[in-house]
Amino acid sequence: MTVQSTSPTAMPSDDVVNVTRVRWWLGAAFFWLFAAMLAGLIYSSQYLRMYVFPGIEYLSPGRVRVTHTSGVAFGFLVTSTLGLMEYVIPKLTQRPVLNQKVGWFAFFAWQAILVATVVGYLGFGQMQAIEWGETPVWIDPIVMVALVIVTANNILGPIFQHATKSGKGLYVSLWYFIAAFVWTGVNYFVGNFFPEYWVPGSAGASLTSMYIHDLVGLYVTPVGWGLMYYLVPVVLKKPVFSHNVSLLGFWALAFLYPLNGAHHYLHSPIPMWVQAMSVLASVGVHLVVYTVIYNFWQTLRQGGTDSYTKLPLRWFVAGAVSYLLTCMQCALHVTFTVQEHVHFTDWVVGHAHFVMFGTFSFFVFGFTVYLWPRVCGRTTWHSETANHYAFWLMAVGNLTMWLVLMIAGLIQGQSWKGLEPFTKSVTSSAPYWLARTFTGIAIFVGFSLMFWNMIQTARSREEAEYDPRTIPSPSPA
Amino acid sequence: MGSSFFEKASSVATVAGFGFYMAAFGLLGVLPWLMTDKIAPVQSGRQFEQRFLPAQVPLDFRGHYKDLAAYRDGLYLGKKVYIAEGCWHCHTQYVRPVGNEAARYGPVSENWEYQNEMNLPQLFGTRRVGPDLIREYNKHSTDWHIAHFRNPTDVVPESVMPSYDWFFNSDGSLNDRGWAIVAYVQWLGSWRELPANKKEQG
């Protein structure tokens, strides 16, 4: 085991990072999350029977809902992580992306894809009936091309050049990034084309579930953890606790996670052995999660109070706690017994928010708190106080939403099983749906505060304290 | 150990990345695909018509669809509308053998029911804000559905379903999309009544 492979090393120069483009990726990502959160809030008003735009076809709840989910997944999480990887990968490999022009092309192509997707949803009712893959069918081939370009130019290109030259093992973050892009390239093709054109019925459902799960499990999860394996040691100035635990966490995730999919359609006509296999693999994943969490906990212990006084780490700790809770929840509700009661209910909606927002969006927020002033040529944010308020509003909003939706889910499940009239499950949910909207407002206000703070920080770039291309490098551990 | 197999870019990309994903694709995709096709082959063309379409256009829809071909096109459009408006985000299309669902909705879903081109892509769904729809055939009258799409709370006061004014002409009659979605919803589960399918039902 070498020192290089346990800690991100200092770079002699930061010229390898295209700081301007990192700023554009992050700025675009935060704009998309602003829009996606607004869409989510508007959608939630339908449940209160106070829909903001009643009777307007182009803003109907069904279409606004996918704008929310796709906006979060593709608009925010994919866009922001691509930006953060444009920072982390050059730092770790000491190489820029293969071609800067292609890098810019990828950025604008991805934004055009996102705009076309929203226009397709709202304006033309073009939606593909694949969850998380609703992107209109004619855009899917374009996404595939963009994905291949960005993978080659930004991710695998520099990493493989670096690996060939150094001949050493790679730092853990890079394993996650390589695997995430190989998985996602294949997964996007499998999930968007097979059930749509070739595989109907329950086998199609099995493939759809694989796609649903792997977009989160094999893109968002590995990329999110890869980013944290970089950020946490850099902020703490301490190495990751155990290289061997990192290895175990990565390889076990790689083996088990792809098998999880079918747990989204338990008790369905999908062959029973497939469902049972997915349940076992999912419980297995929950054990893998403990290894990753343990590794980070031990790493954070070396930093003492830094883990909650430094805001980037506090975001990370909050996200990691969400991750632990959500995975424990998963190991419980993934079983056939519990599925009988919670499937199709708001329990699942709460679970999804806790993963996509409570865990991985929090990771991105933490990294952004660290990186944004730096890519704007400043040492500080416009307002540190605003960032602290943003943290507490979003953290409390997230936890409350999860709890509220879990309770609502249990009530709905019991109402159905007890053979009450279906509408009873709707009326019983009403107070929880109202509470959910309020938690959503707290999150939206918190996020808007952070977004405003970002804009203010970027606008005062003329007062820059240094040329952003010479960001102070993280020191070696 | 600096360059062990498990830390190399090539093994991460080929084994962890491509290899493990393809293994899962085989187990979750190819094998179930072969198995379900063996239990119940995918029905298309003439077989689809025999197994999944009524012998004649249902009485309620004869005013709008002149013949079976037109009715069939209507079902396809209905499915398109069902997807485009996101109906499938709040309604499921399968009955589970647990949770007293057979008592609430009707017979538990079987593989053969989904083995046709109307299930490309499948619409099992994952959330029930409203009830499951796979046994919707004949549960409500066509008039009920029309009133329901116009304003759901007129017929189900507790409903949180939005109204779909754009399924209607200015004079209040259904337009093409409106007829299509009503025909589609009234078709769901009707295949269980067809003579060609009686032997399939266990």
Predicted confidence (pLDDT) per residue in A174-194, tens digit: 999 999 999 999 999 999 999
Nearest by CB to B13, which of A178, A209, A268?
Answer: A178
Q: Do A203 and B24 touch (CB under 8 A)?
A: no
Of A326, A330, A186, A201, which Cα lies nearest the Cα of A258?
A186
- Does the pLDDT value for residue A1 go beyond 70? no
Of A319, A293, A324, which Cα lies nearest the Cα of A308?
A319
Nearest by CB to B17, which of A183, A265, A344?
Answer: A183
Q: Do A169 and B3 touch (CB under 8 A)?
A: yes
Of A151, A24, A163, which Cα lies nearest the Cα of A84?
A24
**DSSP character string of A191-231:** HHHIIIII--HHHHHHHHHHHHHHHIIIIIHHHHHHHHHHH
Q: Do A170 and B12 touch (CB under 8 A)?
A: yes
Q: How confident is the model at residue A169 (pLDDT cuts 50, 70, 90)?
A: confident
pLDDT at residue A6, rounded to an integer: 43
- Does the pLDDT value for residue A475 go beyond 80? no
Q: Do B127 and A349 touch (CB under 8 A)?
A: yes
Instruction: Name the residue in chain B with its Cα closest to that of A123.
Output: B84
Of A256, A233, A228, A387, which Cα lies nearest the Cα of A316?
A228
> Could you tell me if B176 lies within 8 Å of chain A, comparing CB atoms?
no
Q: How confident is the model at residue A167 (pLDDT cuts 50, 70, 90)?
A: confident
What average pLDDT does the structure give for chain A?
Answer: 92
Q: How confident is the model at residue B3 (pLDDT cuts 50, 70, 90)?
A: low
Q: How confident is the model at residue A168 (pLDDT cuts 50, 70, 90)?
A: confident
Residue numbers in B near A1 (CB within 8 A):
1-2
Mean pLDDT, to the nearest integer, of B143-147?
A: 97
Q: How far is A383 from chain B (nearest CA, A)?
A: 40
- Does the pLDDT value for residue A470 go beyond 70? no
- Does the pLDDT value for residue A7 go beyond 50? no
> Could you tell me if B35 lies within 8 Å of chain A, comparing CB atoms?
yes
Q: How far is B69 from chain A (nearest CA, A)?
A: 22
B168 - beta bridge partners? B174
Cβ-contact A188, A147 below 8 angstroms: yes
Tell me, what amino acid is at A285?
Answer: V
pLDDT at residue A466, rounded to an integer: 55
Mean pLDDT, to the nearest integer, of A15-36?
A: 95
Could you tell me the two tokens for A187? 């997964």
User: Which of the two residues, B77 and A468, has the higher pLDDT score?
Assistant: B77
Residue numbers in B near A268 (CB within 8 A):
94, 96, 109, 124
Q: Phi and psi for B55 in degrees, rounded to 5?
A: -70, -30
Cα angle, residue B88 at apex, residues B85 and B91 outer, rounded to 5°: 120
pLDDT at residue B198, rounded to an integer: 78
pLDDT at residue B202, rounded to an integer: 55
Instruction: Please tell me whether residue A474 adopts helix, strand or coil conformation.
Output: coil
> Could you tell me if B175 lies within 8 Å of chain A, comparing CB atoms?
no
Cβ-contact A20, A406 below 8 angstroms: no
Q: How far is B17 from chain A (nearest CA, A)?
A: 5
pLDDT at residue A4, rounded to an integer: 40
Nearest by CB to A51, which of B6, B94, B162?
Answer: B162
The C-alpha atoms of residue A444 and residue A450 are separated, in whole angstroms, by 10
Could you tell me the two tokens for B119? 């299930």
Of B121, B113, B156, B154, which Cα lies nearest the Cα of B137?
B113
**Taking the mean position of all CA atoms in its chain, how far away is CA A196?**
25
Domain ranges across chain B: 5-39, 45-200
Nearest by CB to A63, which of B42, B86, B119?
Answer: B86
Instruction: Name the residue in chain B with its Cα closest to that of A135.
Output: B84
Task: Show which of residues 48-77 on chain B sit within 8 Å of chain A, judged by CB atoms.
Answer: none
Q: Phi and psi for B157 in degrees, rounded to 5?
A: -55, -30
Cβ-contact A283, A334 below 8 angstroms: yes
Size of interface A-B (CB pairs under 8 A): 259
pLDDT at residue A212, rounded to an integer: 94
Q: Do A5 and B2 touch (CB under 8 A)?
A: yes
- Does the pLDDT value for residue A13 go beyond 80? no
A33-to-A52, A451, B101 alpha-carbon distances in Å: 20, 9, 38
Cα angle, residue A129 at apex, residues A124 and A133 outer, rounded to 5°: 90
Of A210, A235, A173, which Cα lies nearest the Cα of A368?
A235
pLDDT single digits (tens) B77-89 = 999 999 999 999 9
Q: Do B99 and A413 touch (CB under 8 A)?
A: yes
Mean pLDDT, to the nearest integer, of A435-442?
A: 98
The C-alpha atoms of residue B199 and residue A463 are separated, in whole angstroms, by 79
The C-alpha atoms of residue A296 and residue A455 are separated, in whole angstroms, by 32
Of B40, B103, B59, B121, which Cα lies nearest the Cα of A271?
B40
Name, in order, each residue with C-beta under 8 angstroms of B5's C-beta and a sequence gap of 6 or more: B11
Instruction: Name the residue in chain B with its Cα closest to that of A164.
Output: B9
Could you tell me the two tokens for A285? 């994943």
pLDDT at residue A43, rounded to an integer: 97
User: What is the H or E stretch that residue A309 is in?
Assistant: helix A306-309
pLDDT single digits (tens) A296-330 = 999 999 888 888 899 999 999 999 999 999 999 99
pLDDT at residue A9, rounded to an integer: 42
> Could you tell me if B128 lies within 8 Å of chain A, comparing CB atoms?
yes
Cβ-contact A239, A476 below 8 angstroms: no
The C-alpha atoms of residue A129 and residue B149 are separated, in whole angstroms, by 21
Nearest by CB to A206, which of B32, B110, B123?
Answer: B32
Question: What percentage of residues in chain B have a pLDDT greater than 70?
Answer: 97
The C-alpha atoms of residue A72 and residue B135 are separated, in whole angstroms, by 34
Q: Do A258 and B31 touch (CB under 8 A)?
A: no
Q: Would the CA dihedral through A232, A237, A238, A240 be positive or negative?
A: positive
Instruction: Name the residue in chain B with its Cα closest to that of A46.
Output: B160
The C-alpha atoms of residue B190 and residue A235 are separated, in whole angstroms, by 62
Cβ-contact A205, A293 below 8 angstroms: no
User: What CATH superfamily is the domain B45-200?
Assistant: Cytochrome c-like domain (1.10.760.10)
pLDDT at residue A11, rounded to an integer: 39
pLDDT at residue A473, rounded to an integer: 47
B43 - beta bridge partners? B116
Q: Do A201 and B122 touch (CB under 8 A)?
A: yes
- Does the pLDDT value for residue B5 go beyond 80? yes
Q: How far is B117 from chain A (nearest CA, A)?
A: 7
Q: Do B37 and A62 touch (CB under 8 A)?
A: no
Of A124-128, A187-191, A473-477, B96-100, least confident by mean pLDDT is A473-477
Is residue B180 classed exposed, middle or buried when 0-12, 13-18 and 19+ CB atoms within 10 A define those classes?
Answer: buried
**DSSP character string of A337-388:** HHHHHHTBSHHHHHHHHIIIIIIIIHHHHHHHHHHHHHHTT-SS-S-HHHHH
The C-alpha atoms of residue A168 and residue B32 are separated, in whole angstroms, by 41
B64: how many CB neighbours lie within 10 A of its CB?
18
- Does the pLDDT value for residue A12 go beyond 50? no
A453-to-A31, A151, A251, B133 alpha-carbon distances in Å: 13, 31, 39, 47
Q: Do A349 and B28 touch (CB under 8 A)?
A: no
